[in-house]
């Protein structure tokens, strides 16, 4: 039967994270508990992306590569971490702003279950646009997952014909990355690259 840890250790762990902003390993070292146990206790109180990068830098590790410095928009979070739905809405709003600034028309999908978010009219052609929120990799560039829902509790890679372009939005640097279907075909994830940063000319054609 597994040993039950004293409840006061959990309270101490939470105190070390919330008040002192210690990392997972620092909490483990101070309390003598396993990473799995500490991770379970602290999962509702994660460090911010900025705090994680600072910890890696202090340890001499390689901080995630980003396209630029922290944006003013990201600083508005003030250390908060938006949930998945909020991140998706932020990415869509940031992309919509750019589409409108380009002077293009944008229309929502009329069909439930469509694998694209919008139809964009550039004045020269219509394209189907999928929007994704970028995540911060621990030892690399921001990336996004290119998978979609496929029935209850299931997911799969996108298929040809489901969208024409995908936009990945990185809130940390306030940068949108644009890829065509040909560039992402068959991939489950894709990382930020300077060639894709604000590459709206791809859509204009």
Q: What CATH number has the domain bearing residue 102?
A: 3.40.1350.10
Report in angstroms the alpha-carbon separations of 133 from 89, 92, 136, 143: 9, 8, 10, 9
Pick from 130, 133, 132, 127: which is nearest to 116 by CA?
130
Looking at the structure, tell me whether residues 181 and 104 fall in a common domain: yes
Residues 147 and 158: beta-carbon distance below 8 Å = yes
CA separation for the pair 55, 96 (Å, rounded): 34
Characterize 107-118 residue by residue with b for buried, 16 or more Cβ atoms within 10 angstroms of its Cβ, and e for exposed.
Answer: eeeeeeeebbbb
Looking at the structure, tell me whether residues 113 and 189 fall in a common domain: yes
This model's pTM is above 0.75: no
Report in angstroms the alpha-carbon separations of 27 from 59, 63, 181: 16, 21, 44
Q: At what angle do helices 35-42 and 7-18 cross, to 10 degrees?
A: 70
Looking at the structure, tell me whether residues 19 and 113 fall in a common domain: no
Which domain range does residue 28 map to?
A: 7-58
Looking at the structure, tell me whether residues 179 and 103 fall in a common domain: yes
Q: Is residue 99 part of a domain?
A: yes
Q: Is residue 66 part of a domain?
A: no
Total tally of structural domains belonging to the chain: 2
Residues 30 and 5: beta-carbon distance below 8 Å = no
Looking at the structure, tell me whether residues 99 and 158 fall in a common domain: yes
Report in angstroms the alpha-carbon separations of 123 from 56, 126, 181: 47, 8, 20
Looking at the structure, tell me whether residues 51 and 80 fall in a common domain: no
Specify the residue for token string 């409108």.
100
Residue pLDDT tens, the chain, 205 long: 344 556 778 888 888 888 888 888 888 877 777 887 888 888 888 888 777 766 665 555 444 454 567 899 999 998 888 898 999 999 999 999 999 999 999 998 766 667 899 999 999 999 999 999 998 876 567 889 998 888 777 889 999 999 999 999 999 999 999 999 999 998 989 989 888 999 999 998 7
């Amino acid at each position: 039967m597994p040993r039950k840890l004293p409840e006061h250790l959990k309270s101490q762990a939470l105190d070390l994270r919330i008040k002192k902003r210690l990392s997972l390993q620092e909490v483990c070292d101070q309390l003598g508990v396993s990473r799995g146990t500490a991770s379970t206790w602290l999962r509702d109180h994660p460090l911010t992306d900025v705090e994680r990068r600072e910890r890696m830098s202090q340890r001499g590790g390689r901080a995630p590569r980003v396209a630029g410095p922290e944006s003013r928009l990201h600083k508005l979070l003030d250390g908060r971490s938006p949930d998945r739905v909020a991140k998706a809405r932020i990415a869509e709003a940031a992309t919509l702003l750019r589409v409108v600034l380009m002077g293009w028309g944008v229309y929502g999908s009329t069909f439930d279950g469509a694998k694209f978010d919008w139809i964009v009219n550039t004045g020269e052609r219509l394209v189907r646009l999928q929007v994704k929120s970028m995540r911060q990799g621990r030892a690399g560039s921001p990336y996004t997952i290119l998978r979609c829902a496929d029935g209850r509790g299931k997911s799969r890679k996108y298929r040809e014909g489901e969208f024409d372009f995908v936009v990945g939005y990185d809130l940390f640097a306030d940068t949108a990355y644009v890829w065509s279907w040909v560039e992402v075909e068959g991939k489950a994830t894709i990382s930020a690259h300077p060639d894709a940063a604000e590459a709206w000319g791809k859509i204009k054609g």
